[in-house]
Amino acid sequence: MNDDVLASLRRAVEASPEDAGLRLHVAEMLLAAGRHTETIGEVNAVLQQEPTHEAALELLSRTVAALTSASATTASGVPSADPATEPDPVSDPEEPAAAAFDWTRAETEVGSDVPPPFVAEPQLAAGESREGVAPPEPETPPVTLKDVGGLEAVKKRLNESFMQPMKNAELAKAFGKSLRGGLLLYGPPGCGKTFLARAVAGELGAVFMSVTMTDILDPYHGVTEKNMKAVFDSARAHSPTVLFLDEVDAIGMKRSGLGHHAMIRQMVNQLLIEMDSMAGNNDGLYLLAATNHPWDLDEALLRPGRLDRTLLVTPPDFEARRTILEYHLKDRPLAGIDLTSIASRTEMFSGADLAHICVTAAEKAMTESIQANRICPISMTHIDAALEEIGPSTLAWLESSRNVVKFSNDHGRYNDLAEYLRSRSIL
């Protein structure tokens, strides 16, 4: 594989993150080079945008099969049989009759007594003896909500719907406020959902554990579910803990759209099982999740007692933008920077966009310094040049969410999004 070509393609992906075809091309190159973990990461990014993307799911299946073959070779020292002659670990035709199960009914019927299939005790593949991927170690969060600049409306709702009941458990119970369930943060990418989750952990005095699909997914039959259970068990053992499921739409995508991909359905089933156990042995475990596409989640995840509270994380407001810009420009040589002016010109920019502006301006100042053979500090000229190249990335997400609000909001789940779109004359 030509590393220069790969690096060039990855820069193109960074410039056009929504281009699924380009990202899958990079994933194919990584798979051909045997870089399976990176391949899964690229496929995961596509599935976040479109959980039923056929090419992405097919590539995921091939990657899992390649991982299985490579692991078998490492464990035995003998090359495994031709994958074409062995059953696909993802789409094994001998699985119980998944097609006969009404996944749409299971996703939409609140309180349904119909048990999902495939929830038996996980069994490892023949010859498999390892214990699976170790759960990530908890980390002590360094931030609280005071560190979140601006976004007062978001913090107020977060405090009312989640923080206050958790901090005042007995009083909440007296008012009939359930302490079960978790919180789903949703909104455009790059707007600080992970940072807010860390801040919640700081407010609750809890350790912070972040989990993604790549931490859990395993090619061996049953190990993915085992990894999911290990993550929840580790979080319970370190309580109080905020367990943060990042990009939860990749972990909890709609099962009815997964076709014959039984392994991923198993992962969703195990997640539901672990969330349901929060009624009994999850004291001190606070479940938070984040997604850019809540409408792609399995409906069963949003039932009462699971991720039953939702919070829209909007693009940063003026004060938040000023704070973000100040943070990303500190410790860099500056000359005549007007943060108020920049913040007023960057409405609808995400936190990631603002960071990109600061980095781009720094690159331009560095190039000028190299040419002049002296330090040329970052000035408004460099900022202006960066703003000519960079626009707000949130607009595409907000435009796409408009149809969801107009045609799929009968349950009122996205009323806060509808209000925000109207305030920006998008709806």
Are residues 349 and 414 part of one domain? no
| 138 belongs to a structural domain | no
CA distance 263 to 261: 6
| 15 belongs to a structural domain | yes
Which amino acid is located at 340 in the chain?
A: T
CA distance 127 to 123: 11
Which CATH number belongs to the domain containing residue 58 in this structure? Answer: 1.25.40.10
Higher model confidence: residue 177 or residue 422? 422
Check residue 75 and give its pLDDT. 45
DSSP state of 159: I
Q: Which sign, positive or negative, has the C-alpha torsion 8, 14, 16, 22? A: positive
CA distance 235 to 50: 29
Are residues 150 and 7 part of one domain? no
| 135 belongs to a structural domain | no
Q: How far is CA 193 from the centre of its chain?
A: 9
Check residue 173 and give its pLDDT. 66
Q: Is the pLDDT of residue 78 over 50?
A: no
Residue with tokens 């409408």: 295
Of 44, 72, 90, the one marking the end of a domain is 90
Are residues 334 and 298 part of one domain? no
Side by side, the strands of the sheet bearing 207-211 are 207-211, 241-245, 285-291, 183-186, 309-312
| 123 belongs to a structural domain | no
CA distance 318 to 152: 11
Are residues 188 and 277 part of one domain? yes
pLDDT band of 421, cuts 50, 70, 90: very high
| 114 belongs to a structural domain | no
Q: What is the pLDDT of residues 11-54, one digit of tens each?
A: 787 778 888 888 888 888 888 888 877 887 787 777 767 767 78
Distances, alpha carbon 103 to alpha carbons 122, 133, 261, 277, in Å: 21, 29, 13, 22
CA distance 146 to 139: 19
* Tokens at 99, concatenated: 């097609």
pLDDT band of 133, cuts 50, 70, 90: very low
Of 32-36, 166-170, 288-292, 296-300, which one has max mean pLDDT?
A: 288-292
Are residues 57 and 84 part of one domain? yes
For residues 209 and 243, the answer to whether their CB atoms sit within 8 Å is yes
Nearest to 177 by CA among 162, 165, 163: 165
Check residue 187 and give its pLDDT. 92
Check residue 394 and give its pLDDT. 93
Are residues 400 and 375 part of one domain? no
| 38 belongs to a structural domain | yes
Helices (H) and strands (E) in the chain, counts: 19, 5
* Tokens at 125, concatenated: 């593949």
Are residues 413 and 324 part of one domain? no
| 336 belongs to a structural domain | yes
Of 74, 90, 106, the one marking the end of a domain is 90
Are residues 218 and 157 part of one domain? yes
Domain that holds residue 418: 394-423
Taking CA 366 as the corner, what is the angle to CA 361 and CA 372, rounded to the nearest 5 degrees?
130
* Tokens at 134, concatenated: 């170790």
Distances, alpha carbon 48 to alpha carbons 18, 228, 236, in Å: 10, 19, 27
Are residues 323 and 308 part of one domain? no
Q: Which residues are bridge partners to 230 per DSSP? A: none
Are residues 332 and 263 part of one domain? no
Whether omega for the bond prior to residue 240 falls within 30 degrees of 0, making it cis, is yes
Check residue 338 and give its pLDDT. 95
CA distance 282 to 293: 27
Of 278, 312, 346, the one marking the end of a domain is 312
| 226 belongs to a structural domain | yes
Number of compact structural domains in the chain: 4
